[in-house]
Amino acid sequence: MSEKDFIIVGQGLVGSILALTLEKFNKSFIVVDCVNETSSSKVSAGILNPISFKRCINSWKANVLNPFSISFYKETNVKLQSNDFISLDVVRIFSSYEEQNIWHSKTGDNRYNLFLSSDFDLPKSNIVFPYGGGKVNSCGRLIVKDFLSSCFNYLNKKKAIIRVNSIQKAIPKINGNYCVQNYKAKHIIYCEGLDMLNNPIFNYLPIIPNKGELLKIKCAELPNVLLSKGIFVLPNNSKNNFTIGATYDHKDKSKFPTRSAKIELLKKFNKIGDFNIKIIDQTVGFRPTTVDRRPLVGEHPILKKSYVINGMGSKGVMMAPWLVNNLIRHIIFNEALEKEASIKRHEKKLKKENIDFASQLCVN
């Protein structure tokens, strides 16, 4: 068998970032991937935005995550010889005088003024600004589908990835090594997104599928910036091509687009202004979210050197590079794992069947 340092299960956003990060640490690995067309990575808009607009505050650890991620993606563009990450202006359209006042007060606060600005400039358009607007600095967009394709091609050339029709429930541990096909490794990291719910090792962790729907439109009247007002309007690569999103629904488990989501998105879009549009497509993806809105990162409490990284919801593009780096440094150098993301907070949810299954995976 070919011996590696790590086995990575899943080549979504997190799995791809894991592979590129392990390479920076000169660690060998094999990625095992099973194609899932409705995963959040496949349809994600890929927005890197450090602000939580609902409360007009920085997102969790944004001061750390945001600059780290931007640097990572810019380096990755060079490594993969791609343009999958682009810097992008984000203009917030205020919905009330209250939001306007809160925004302006925070532009003078050192905790927020790294990202918030009252200055913005837009080409003349049909956008309605009854209460004004502001700009978010240090934003970007990762074209996730293209990024995954670039990573696959890069890893495939290095013979560091295998595609399978299905992934077994969990990878067995034989004589201290995790074994899959003709590969073995001391460490294994699961980054399966919602497929974690079918993994008896880690399915005790509280992942919640959150359905998101997006509309792709053609419009010649919209400016080439990312607009935010209850929804986002995101310019795509093609001329006059935009994405409107996104809905959030933790109850609907169907994989199909819904008329109600389309109506909701268009209703919010029409509040931005009066535009002539043509709807091109409607897509669906499922985000892996958590009740406390914190990621799930760490080592299995029973099955040693078996790790998980998951649960980043809609902020995966910004969170993943730093959290992956944190996990790898924890494994290699025994550095502290981010406490708020650690799966240790959920150890009480571990069930007997999880423990029994983990024990059965070990073969001497």
pLDDT on residue 38: 52
pLDDT on residue 20: 98
> Looking at the predicted structure, is the pLDDT value of residue 189 above 90?
yes
> Looking at the predicted structure, is the pLDDT value of residue 269 above 60?
yes
> Looking at the predicted structure, is the pLDDT value of residue 364 above 70?
no
Q: Are residues 279 and 222 both part of a single domain?
A: yes
The chain-wide mean pLDDT, for the chain, equals 92
pLDDT on residue 55: 81
**Of 39-43, 116-120, 290-294, 339-343, where does mean pLDDT reach its minimum?**
39-43
CA 289 to centroid of chain Cα atoms:
10
pLDDT confidence bin for 313, thresholds 50/70/90: very high
Q: Which of 255, 289, 323 is the last residue of a domain?
A: 289
Q: Are residues 152 and 285 both part of a single domain?
A: no
pLDDT on residue 243: 96
- Which stretches of the chain are DSSP H helices? 13-24, 40-43, 62-80, 97-106, 144-157, 259-270, 316-333, 352-361
pLDDT digits (tens, 9 = 90+) for 102-143: 999 998 888 888 899 888 777 667 898 899 999 999 999 999
Tokens (6 digits) for 22: 């392990």
* CATH, residue 300: 3.50.50.60
149 CB burial (10 A radius; 0-12, 13-18, 19+): middle
What average pLDDT does the segment 218-222 reach?
Answer: 94
Q: Are residues 150 and 277 both part of a single domain?
A: no
Tokens (6 digits) for 125: 């358009």
> Looking at the predicted structure, is the pLDDT value of residue 169 above 80?
no
**Domain assignment of residue 9, given as a range:** 2-43+145-206+292-363
Total number of domains constituting the chain: 2
Query: Is there a domain that residue 356 lies in?
Result: yes
